[in-house]
Structure 1
Amino acid sequence: MGALLDQKYEKLFALLDVNGDGVIAEDDFELMAARVLTASGEERTAKGEKYAGAMMHYWRALREAADADGDGRIDRGEFRAALRQVSVDFDTLVGPLYQAGFHLADRDGDGLVGKEDFVTVLAAIGVPATEAGAAFDGLTAQGEQLTEDQLMTSAAQYYRNEEPSGTPSHLLFGAL
């Protein structure tokens, strides 16, 4: 694995370890889903349930790929070893979470997400608001809103791309 992907995967690990205990486990995914749903005001809606379901789908896929010792927890070594496979299968394993997150942030259902809603969701998962705002600005043209295609392309690039870090997708979850 190259140094850039290693940095991105370390950033992801830190975000997914919601309770900060040094491992990723099911309770981290439950905590993150609850934070995002509370921040977006979607705790008791169909969109909220879909997001929570997608979060747990991602957890199960990650656990299956990464939990080498079967203890229900994923340490940094297991995470790095398995994330390549999860990245290869991004569209089926990880993509549904990003799609659900997009639809959660798309409050009016018009297929576009504004900066404020994007920042709300990213801040709820642990990205500093200023960095989330900068990520939005890098993914969209001045004054435009984010489309689902833009988000999905950027998220897939974040997981897979080893190109120089100057592309906006590398800042999807804040500075590396």
Structure 2
Amino acid sequence: MGELLDQKYERLFSLLDVNGDGAIAEDDFVAMADRVRASFGDERSLAKGQRYSDAMADYWHALRATADADGNGRIDKDEFRRAVRHVSDNFDTLIGPLYSAGFHFADRDDDGLVDRGEFAAVVAAVGVPADHAGHTFDLLSGPSGTLTLEQLMTAAAQYYCDEDPANGASHQLFGPL
């Protein structure tokens, strides 16, 4: 694994460790899902919010099955770094559903497009500073001013798997490295 992936995985780990105790566990994933859902208040349907929470739980279970080498229900940085590549190699089935659920949760009017405010709200709730979230949106969306599910999925897949410096926008999915 190269230096760029190491930096991205370090950033991802720090976001997933919601309580900051140096390990990620199921309660971190529940807390993050709750934060994201709360970031939109009551304006999201219960079904969309539940799909997002379920996708977070599925992501946790897939990650734990791969990463929790000692079976203690917690994943430290070393376990995470060793295992996240495997989970990433199965992006479409293990990680992609989470990003899809997040996109649909953010898509206020169900038109298949997410605007800057919707994107920034979700990414900021994940733990990325709001100004960085807005900048990332600008990089990913381009001149259209909206983001499609396809654009998000491409960026997310590149974040987890790609080390090509030319794909700089996707490398900043969770803020600058």
Q: What secondary structure, in the 3-state scheme, does the structure 1 residue paired with 2:143 have?
A: coil
Matched AA of 1:75: D
Counterpart of 2:133?
132
- Does structure 1 residue 77 correspond to structure 2 residue 81? no
How far apart are residue 44 of structure 1 and its match? 6.1
Counterpart of 2:87?
86
How far apart are residue 72 of structure 1 and its match? 0.2
Counterpart of 1:10?
10
- Counterpart Cα distance in 2 of 1:138 and 1:44: 29
- The ranges of structure 1 where at least 4 consecutive aligned residues each deviate by more than 3 angstroms after the TM superposition are none
Q: What secondary structure, in the 3-state scheme, does the structure 1 residue paired with 2:19 have?
A: coil
Counterpart of 1:151?
152
How far apart are residue 143 of structure 1 and its match? 4.4
Alpha-carbon distance change, 168 to 7 in structure 1, aligned in 2, over 3 angstroms: same
Counterpart of 2:112?
111
How far apart are residue 142 of structure 1 and its match? 2.5
- Specify every segment of 5 or more residues in structure 2 that has no aligned partner in the other structure, as ranges: none
Matched AA of 1:48: G
Counterpart of 2:56?
55
Q: Report which stretch shifted further, 158-167 or 125-134.
A: 158-167
How far apart are residue 41 of structure 1 and its match? 2.3
Query: Does the 8 Å CA contact 1:40/1:104 hold for their aligned counterparts?
Result: no
- Counterpart Cα distance in 2 of 1:171 and 1:76: 20
How far apart are residue 140 of structure 1 and its match? 1.0
How far apart are residue 129 of structure 1 and its match? 0.4
Q: What secondary structure, in the 3-state scheme, does the structure 2 residue paired with 1:113 have?
A: strand
- Counterpart Cα distance in 1 of 2:41 and 2:133: 19
Q: What secondary structure, in the 3-state scheme, does the structure 2 residue paired with 1:167 have?
A: helix
- Let me know the Cα RMSD of the aligned residues: 1.2
Counterpart of 2:123?
122
- Specify every segment of 5 or more residues in structure 1 that has no aligned partner in the other structure, as ranges: none
Counterpart of 2:33?
33
How far apart are residue 112 of structure 1 and its match? 0.1
- Cα deviation digits, residues 143-170 of structure 1 (max 9, x gap): 4200000000000000000111662000
TM-score by length of 2: 0.97
Query: Does the 8 Å CA contact 1:118/1:136 hold for their aligned counterparts?
Result: yes
What count of residue pairs does the alignment treat as equivalent?
176
- Counterpart Cα distance in 1 of 2:133 and 2:171: 12
Q: What secondary structure, in the 3-state scheme, does the structure 2 residue paired with 1:151 have?
A: helix
Query: Does the 8 Å CA contact 1:140/1:146 hold for their aligned counterparts?
Result: yes
- Counting aligned pairs with the same residue, the percent is 62
Matched AA of 2:138: D
TM-score by length of 1: 0.97
